[in-house]
Chain A
Amino acid sequence: MENHLLSWIVWIPVIGMVAVTLIPRDQTNAIKWTAAAAAGIQLIFSLILLARFDLTTGDFQMYESAQWIPSLNITYQLGVDGLSLPMVVLTAILFFIGVFVSWKIDKAVKGYFALLLLLDTGIVGVFLSLDFFLFYVFWEVMLLPMYFLIGMWGGPQREYAAIKFFLYTLVGSVLMLIAILALYFTCGHTFDMITIMETASPNLAGVTWWGLDAMKVIWILLFIGFAIKVPVFPFHTWLPLAHVEAPTAISVILAGILLKLGAYGLLRVNYAMLPDAVWWFAGAMAILGLINVVWGALCALAQKDLKKLVAYSSINHMGYAMIGMAAVIAAGAANGSNYAAAQAGLNGAVFQMFNHGTISAMLFILVGVIYDRAHHRDINGFGGLATSMPIYSGIVALAFFAGLGLPSLSGFVSEAMCFLGAFPVFRTIVILATIGILLNAAYFLWAFQRMFLGKLNEKYKDLPEINGRELFTVVPLAVITILFGIYPWPFLKYIGETMNVLIDQIVAIGGIAGVM
């Protein structure tokens, strides 16, 4: 309470945005450096947060609270725990990198960076808010800059992509809003998320609306709202389009962080507030995860546009996280009280969210590098690039291997944990999902072969090698990927306690209800 670290982390980008708007529009360098400074300070603050984080508790820390609209019981509340911490750090890293990825933006520079910083605040705000109203406000704040960033700085189909993204997400927001209001009224007119976590379950027990279990109704509304963001099949088709049309840095943020908001919401809201329904829905979640894995992989295999391939790979990768999340019920008595499996699954899911954040960011940056040079992304239109761009090819190889879940790179650890966790409960589903192990390798290696191996395409023999600025944007991500692949504990130790709290909550409910 004595310091407002979380508030600083949330609002620094907005301060940066204000500064950017005050700079004359032709001073593009000043604008870029101001944005970099804002993102940089946010990153430093988030690292301070990391250092101050108390590993021994799974509860909320660095709690901040202030009155906002007392008449409606709306407060300004922030707090961080093991679930939001990695997401905040990831956001800070990717926005800092994102500024440098955007360095070559030459159209309406001022507007671009101002919106980028606003987006930053929106995202971090969602991760840190503990008041549902605030949560929703940030959620919507994030939508607007995204719409303009895709719609104005995107590719040829940018307007279509932007409006589709906007409408699709808005549908989710509306459903979420209904659910939030339902919770507000059933939990004693409060938006306080911690209170709702404590009271939603008992207050909703046995309540039916139009013959439907109220808890299930709310769960489904929230689920769809978040599933669109994840995205979970069949709510996924906005993603390839938005990713492909967005400028590189925005694709990085879309894949790296925005998708995590969906998964984060599922854990923070669905899991923590309505743990009873987790028992009812876990099976469906695992099946949806399986579909994501296989469907995403098959679609990726068929792509000829590299960026679309990477976009579909995101669908595939988030599928693993879904399967891991479903594993939480392994800890229940009905499933043999396999606490280890629940831990593996849930920690694996959050770890997978983070790893997908770094790996897909790396992949999109690398797609951007080649697109800036060749002005196309047709996988079949290259060939033999490893001869002319050896360093770039080496890094792409590393990123692809990370994407296909190569052991010793971070993606493997989290995928393996998701599988190991879910296996005792969803044996058949997991066995079917292991087909992803093969398909992932197939689409990445096949794409690599077509682009980088074979005879050098004469057209591209003089492509300039990846430059210093671009290396600066990928190398940190590559290092994270390797370090956590070799030794995941420095990551897992931050989240473990919070996951235990979540598991305990669900197990406790399972012990009482058990029947759902």
Chain B
Amino acid sequence: MTENIFIDYSLLILFLPLVSFLILVFTGKRLPRQGDWVGIGAILTTLALSISMFVSMLIEYEPGFSHEASFSWINLSAFQVDLGFLVDNITIIMLLVVSLISSMTHIFSTKYLEGDIRYSRYYAYLGLFTFSMNGIVLANNLISLYMFWELVGVSSYLLIQHWFEKDSAADAAKKAFLTNRVGDIGFFIGIMLIFSTVGAFTYSDIFAGVADGTIGGTILTFAGIGLFLGAMGKSSQFPLHIWLPDAMEGPTPVSALMHAATMVAAGVYMSVRIFPLFTPDALTVVAYVGGFTALFAASIAITQNDIKKVLAYSTVSQLGYMILAVGTGAYIAGFFHLVTHAMFKACLFYCSGSVIHAMHHALHKKHDHETDPQDMRNMGGFKDKMPVTYATMLIATLAISGVPLFSGFLSKDAVLAGTLSFVIHHPEHFFLAICGFGAALITAFYMFRLIFMTFHGSPTKKELIDDIHESPKAMTYPLILLATLSFFIFYTLPSVNPISDHGWFKDLVVPQDSFVQDSAILSAHEIEEGMHHAHYLAMALSLLVAGLGIGLSWMMYYRKILSADEWAKKTGPMYNLSLNKYYFDENYQKYLIQPVLKLADKVAYIDWDLYDKYFINGFGRVTDWISRITGRLDYEGIDQTLVDGVGRSAGKMGSGLKQIQTGKLQNYLLFVLAGVIVILVFQTI
């Protein structure tokens, strides 16, 4: 395949789902089957194209493959913005992941959302999402990355509130968008810092600027952290993690696609893409955010009873792992974990969807609208009723817990090896290792807790169990496919060693040296070396913690040798903190959101009821008052006293004079006579 065909294929992959979105938005309801086939057709074509790109990547087997195409977007003589695409092996793998999971979601949803009131809208939005997600994957610059970045935010917003009649869904959608926007502020500041120094937006130009020292030092650190803030929002990292669990209000296939496998991984993907510009200080921040999130979210997942909430916190925690890997320099391990996690986490979500679907139908049959179909305390013993769901979910659980033979073992091991090697180099950061391995322990524990509570034991609601049935084929086939892809071999071929990640992935996705001019930065080779040395120790430790977690879970929820309730009581305050998610939502509400709303009210009050009413209108009032005074002066002073005064005096004089105007001829003759006499007298004198 020539390079240009790669770009052509990428363009098709990008725009087909958009076409599907446009068709469905405008004509969806009028099409047969509400047009779901339009969406499915588009995504399957996209999948076929992605597979063919993937296959030719495997045939060419060229580690450094990279091809770019740009076009001019804004071309003012000095201010130039070029947008374009970058296709390399990471892109090709990611495109396949997105198209695959998206295809599964399209197929799964035909049954899961059968008869839904906004069925065609749903498929339209899936198209919008796939378009924007692939846009992120293909971007070769920060501007189109940011644009698609926010577009996935919109599709996420629209899909979370699919059932917007529920206030909780509408709240969750808004929360997701706004929390992401907090991160995006940082993202945009990062873009501005970079543009104001390097004067460009494409990755390659930025890296060149980093390499030749055009941007460096504190500015680069802040730029990196700014961009990373965007990643924290999208990938739901502490303290911006609050939106993802709420996003579970959306339909479960959406949760699988966006809020587990792909969209939330965009933050990680972006960090992987821009890794070469992170300074050591920025990387330390990244590592701590990731590590802490991994442990923190796991510690919440452990006490949740809602099956989707457990998986949601598990996702947050796993994303933390990937970010931790980026922070410790093992960013390829982070990307590896992104890929394997996409498969098994999507599988887990579809499985939970299958279970919820079954619960829903059973409850519906019993006309029970009280029982929560997502609460694991209402489940139990579904193993024999839903064998396919059980088997696939178990496989995915083994993968996420890091058990050998499964993909998660390899990728998690790579992440932990990276962390361990970093900690060995920098013992002061030992906390990161605690986070990594601690989270692994807890993950194994709560994932098996989920399996045991849902599928094993005896049903807590005996009347339901008879009505629990396996889901239809459109739902189970995706499960089987994704569970199959949770085995290690698909990521290591042609190698078949289950405890080594050597294989096509490692061959084709090679780490890049950082471009940052700093002696503290290790080269890609040094990081590889370190990981290699730490590999066996990391593996031993991770096996140990995984075994420990599974064992504890088994004792507590399967054999019930240990009582979960008693442990909960024993750890009282901590248990409550975890159960209530450390009260983050409450505190944000109390110390951030309410104060801002109050401030807004105050500002609006000052603006309208004080400033405008008294100050601005005050001018009017003062003018009014002055004009009254001048009016009175004018009328009473000038007009009445002066002007009319003259008039009045004239009038008075007139009325005095008019006394002599009698109108009688005799009087006038008398006056004339008198006058004549007077004149004569004067004459003679």
A102 proximal to B (CB < 8 A): no
Q: Are B184's CB and A454's CB within 8 A?
A: no
Query: In the complex, A500→B75 CA distance in Å?
Result: 13
Query: In the complex, A407→B230 CA distance in Å?
Result: 15
Specify the chain A residue showing the minimal Cβ separation from B604: A302
Given contacts A437-B188, A445-B157, A445-B178, 6 further A-B contacts (CB under 8 A): A299-B600, A299-B607, A344-B79, A419-B188, A420-B191, A438-B185
State which residues 217-276 of A face B: CB under 8 Å: 234, 237-238, 240-241
Pairs across A and B, CB under 8 Å, 20 listed: A234-B611, A240-B608, A301-B596, A302-B597, A303-B604, A339-B78, A340-B80, A344-B79, A407-B149, A408-B150, A420-B191, A423-B192, A423-B193, A423-B195, A423-B196, A434-B185, A438-B182, A445-B178, A454-B164, A496-B76
Q: Are A302's CB and B174's CB within 8 A?
A: no
B599 proximal to A (CB < 8 A): yes
Known: A340-B78, A407-B150, A424-B196. A445 touches B165 (CB 8 A): no
Q: Which A residues have a C-beta under 8 Å from some C-beta of B?
A: 164, 167-168, 234, 237-238, 240-241, 295, 298-299, 301-303, 338-344, 347, 384, 386-387, 394, 401, 406-408, 412, 416-417, 419-421, 423-424, 430-431, 434-435, 437-438, 441-442, 445-446, 449, 452-456, 487-489, 492, 496, 499-500
B170 proximal to A (CB < 8 A): yes
Known: A167-B620, A453-B170. A302 touches B600 (CB 8 A): yes
Known: A298-B603, A343-B76, A488-B74. A441 touches B185 (CB 8 A): no
* Inter-chain contacts of A341 with B (CB < 8 A): 79, 196
State which residues 168-206 of B face A: CB under 8 Å: 169-171, 174, 177-178, 181-182, 184-185, 188-189, 191-193, 195-196, 199
Q: Which of A417, A420, A496 has the most CB of B within 10 A?
A: A420
Query: In the complex, A454→B173 CA distance in Å?
Result: 12
Known: A298-B599, A434-B189, A438-B182. A407 touches B195 (CB 8 A): no
* Inter-chain contacts of B612 with A (CB < 8 A): 237, 241
Interface of A is mostly: helix
Closest 6 CB pairs of A and B: A302-B604, A407-B147, A237-B612, A453-B170, A301-B600, A340-B78
Q: Are B604's CB and A437's CB within 8 A?
A: no
* Inter-chain contacts of A453 with B (CB < 8 A): 161, 164-165, 167, 169-170
* Inter-chain contacts of B143 with A (CB < 8 A): 416
* Inter-chain contacts of A401 with B (CB < 8 A): 154
Query: In the complex, A407→B136 CA distance in Å?
Result: 13
Q: Are A431's CB and B189's CB within 8 A?
A: yes
Query: In the complex, A455→B601 CA distance in Å?
Result: 26
Query: In the complex, A89→B19 CA distance in Å?
Result: 31
B143 → A minimal CB distance (Å): 8
Q: Are B603's CB and A441's CB within 8 A?
A: no
Q: Are B79's CB and A302's CB within 8 A?
A: no
B146 proximal to A (CB < 8 A): yes
B428 → A minimal CB distance (Å): 31
* Inter-chain contacts of A446 with B (CB < 8 A): 174
B571 proximal to A (CB < 8 A): no
* Inter-chain contacts of B182 with A (CB < 8 A): 438
Q: Are B608's CB and A438's CB within 8 A?
A: no
A378 → B minimal CB distance (Å): 15
Q: CB < 8 Å: which of A168, A412, A441 contacts B181? A: A441
Count of inter-chain pairs, beta carbons less than 8 A: 145
Q: Are A456's CB and B165's CB within 8 A?
A: yes
Interface of B is mostly: helix
Query: In the complex, A238→B157 CA distance in Å?
Result: 36
B616 proximal to A (CB < 8 A): yes
Q: CB < 8 Å: which of B25, B178, B192, B196 contacts A441? A: B178
Q: CB < 8 Å: which of A241, A342, A430 contacts B192? A: A430
Q: CB < 8 Å: which of B74, B189, B191, B195 contacts A489? A: B74
Q: Are B147's CB and A237's CB within 8 A?
A: no
* Inter-chain contacts of B596 with A (CB < 8 A): 301, 442
Known: A344-B79, A347-B76. A302 touches B601 (CB 8 A): yes
B2 proximal to A (CB < 8 A): no
B322 → A minimal CB distance (Å): 25
Q: CB < 8 Å: which of B80, B165, B603, B608 contacts A387? A: B165
B683 proximal to A (CB < 8 A): no
B519 proximal to A (CB < 8 A): no
Query: In the complex, A170→B149 CA distance in Å?
Result: 46
Q: Are A408's CB and B178's CB within 8 A?
A: no
Query: In the complex, A115→B607 CA distance in Å?
Result: 32
Q: Are B604's CB and A488's CB within 8 A?
A: no
Q: CB < 8 Å: which of B77, B154, B189, B599 contacts A343? A: B77
Q: Are B73's CB and A489's CB within 8 A?
A: yes
* Inter-chain contacts of A438 with B (CB < 8 A): 178, 181-182, 185
